[in-house]
Every structure is written in structure tokens, then in C-alpha cells.
Amino acid sequence: AYHVKLLDVLSMTAQGHGSNASPKIQSIFNAEQIMKSLVDPDTTLDVKASLANIFLNVVIDVDIKVPGFESNPLLWEFMASIPETLIATMAILKQDLQSKGHHEVRSCRQQLVYTWSCIKIFTSFFK
């Protein structure tokens, strides 16, 4: 949990245009590393959501774009995974969450947070 919160803090420091933190965070996590983790099926949803926010704030929604980024196959692999993420979220939204246990609700919440991050990345990339 500590490491996920640290990723969240790093993401928040890079939020918004004109942030001086983005290049510094890019030196810690480059776009390639983040994308590999986002498409890795073994990466947990809480980590994916935090990394997706870093990806948005440090790679996608920045003043100076990463050169050659838009032709990276990992980017398009990630973009191609978004419909599956939306389908998984739709399945969750159709469930009665009140009958679920704490662990199941937590997992559903993580899916929703990750999906929202994916939507923000997708819309920011194509604006």
C-alpha cells in the first residue's frame, strides 16, 4: 500500500501543465517502463491505476511530448486494452454491490478507478 500511495503522490506533483516535476518523474519512470507495467496482466489494479495516473500526468498531458512516443507499439497495445477494461467495468456496474463482501467491493472499486484513468488517458491523447 505504501508504494501505491507513493506513486499517487508522484502523479499528483506532476499534475497540470507547467509542472516542473514531470521531467524529474520521467527520469525515474520512463514511458516504456510505465507502458510495460500497464499491459502486464500480472500488474494489480491498484498499481495499474496509480501508474496510469503517472502516465497521464508525466507522459500524455505534458507541454513537451516524449519524442517518437506515438509510434511505440506498447502505447497501442495499451490503447487496444481499453475496450476490455470498459467491458469489465460494465459488468461490475450491473452487479448488486451491496451483496458483496468488503474484499470484492474493494476489487470493484479498483477496477472503476483504473477505468477512469484509462478514459482520461484516451481522451487526453486524442484531443
Average pLDDT over residues 16-39: 82
Tell which wins on pLDDT, 29 or 16.
29
Each domain of the chain, given as residue ranges in start order, spans 2-125
- Please give the pLDDT value at position 19: 66
What are the phi and psi torsion angles at 29 (to 5°)?
Answer: -120, 110
Q: What does the pLDDT look like over 50-99, one tens digit per residue?
A: 999 999 988 888 877 778 889 999 999 999 999 999 999 999 999 887 88
pLDDT band at residue 17 under the 50/70/90 scheme: low
- Give the pTM: 0.86
CA 85: distance to chain centroid?
A: 11
Nearest to residue 124, comparing CAs of 80, 65, 67, 72? 65
**Burial of residue 58, with CB atoms counted within 10 A of its CB: 0-12 exposed, 13-18 middle, 19 or more buried:** buried
User: At a CB cut-off of 8 Å and minimum separation 6, what does 125 contact?
Assistant: 60, 79
Per 3-state DSSP, the chain is made up of helix, strand and coil in percentages (nearest 5) of: 75, 0, 25
